């Protein structure tokens, strides 16, 4: 990772973009970490406010309309099974650009990086996203890297879903300090020891890759299968 930027004064305003079709863990993993950072003021904003439904049918209410938020110290954009509606929404992309102009850190998880790309924030940047759409970053002028998370300037991008927790812990160390971040890691007992060693394409057999792609394409409970942006 590159050197840390100057730590922010508290309270630290952290805004998550919530939207219909987002992947729950993309947002909730980092939320669990960042909401516990001392002095953090965390809120969820959605295109029209109110409730959103994730790609597996979970519902979250109480979102603030994006029109009501003009700045943030940290912006985090989670991914989803199909982010194409966001990539084609000029109003939302204008908002992302506007908030990014005020942030100290702008972050994404999984296909949320494509939203940052569509907003023009990844030009000449190194970035990562879910392995299934990693090469899509090139059309936004980014250099795709196969890492759990990538820091380039004030941008932090995490790869697929669970990697958002790794990225959030690294961000917590910047917002507070490494000791606090490690305390948060212990507090949430984040000590991965999966039963299988198949969590990255480089570790998977052809059969596992085929099965994973089939699972990604399978329609979710709300009828939203995993879609790769054109």
Task: Give yes or no for a contact between 87 and 55, defined as CB atoms under 8 angstroms apart.
Answer: no
Q: What pLDDT, on a 0 to 100 scale, did the predictor assign at position 229?
A: 57
Round to whole Å and give the CA distance between 23 and 11: 27
Instruction: Indicate whether this model's pTM tops 0.85.
Output: yes
Residue 2: pLDDT band by 50, 70, 90 thresholds?
very low
Q: CA 65, 116, 139 angle in degrees (round to 5)?
A: 145
Round to whole Å and give the CA distance between 82 and 114: 11
Backbone angles phi, psi at 50, to 5 degrees: 80, -140
Annotated catalytic residue, options 107, 110, 115, 181: 110
Q: CA 216, 126, 7 angle in degrees (round to 5)?
A: 105
In the DSSP assignment, the letter for residue 218 is S
Residue 5: pLDDT band by 50, 70, 90 thresholds?
low
Taking residues 72-93, report their average pLDDT. Answer: 96
Q: What pLDDT, on a 0 to 100 scale, did the predictor assign at position 7?
A: 72
pLDDT in tens, 116-153: 999 999 999 999 999 999 999 999 999 999 999 999 99
Whether 110 sits among the annotated catalytic residues: the reply is yes
Taking residues 52-72, report their average pLDDT. Answer: 96
Domains in the chain with CATH codes = 12-217 (3.40.50.880)
What is the C-alpha end-to-end distance of the chain, expressed in Å? 31
Task: Give yes or no for a contact between 181 and 163, defined as CB atoms under 8 angstroms apart.
Answer: no
Taking residues 198-213, report their average pLDDT. Answer: 95
Round to whole Å and give the CA distance between 148 and 100: 22
Taking residues 103-117, report their average pLDDT. Answer: 98
The helix/strand/coil state of 127 is strand
């Amino acid at each position: 990772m590159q050197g840390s930027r100057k730590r922010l004064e508290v309270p630290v305003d952290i805004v998550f973009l919530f939207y219909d079709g987002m992947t729950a863990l993309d947002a909730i993993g980092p939320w669990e970490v960042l909401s516990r950072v001392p002095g953090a003021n965390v809120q969820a904003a959605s295109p029209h406010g109110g409730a959103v439904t994730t790609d597996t049918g979970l519902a979250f209410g109480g979102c603030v309309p994006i029109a009501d938020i003009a700045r943030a110290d940290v912006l985090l954009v989670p991914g989803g099974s199909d982010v194409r509606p966001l990539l084609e929404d000029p109003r939302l992309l204008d908002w992302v650009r506007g908030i990014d102009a005020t942030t100290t850190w702008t972050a994404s998880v999984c296909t949320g990086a494509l939203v940052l790309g569509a907003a023009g924030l990844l030009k000449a940047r190194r970035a990562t996203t879910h392995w299934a759409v990693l090469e899509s970053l090139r059309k936004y002028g980014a250099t795709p890297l196969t890492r759990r998370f990538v820091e380039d300037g004030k941008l932090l991008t995490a790869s697929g879903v669970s990697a958002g927790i790794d990225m959030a812990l690294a961000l917590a160390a910047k917002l507070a300090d490494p000791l606090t971040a490690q305390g948060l890691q212990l507090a949430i007992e984040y000590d991965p020891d999966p039963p299988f060693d198949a969590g990255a394409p480089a570790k998977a057999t052809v059969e596992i890759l085929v099965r994973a792609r089939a699972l990604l394409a399978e329609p979710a409970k709300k009828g939203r299968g995993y879609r790769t942006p054109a």
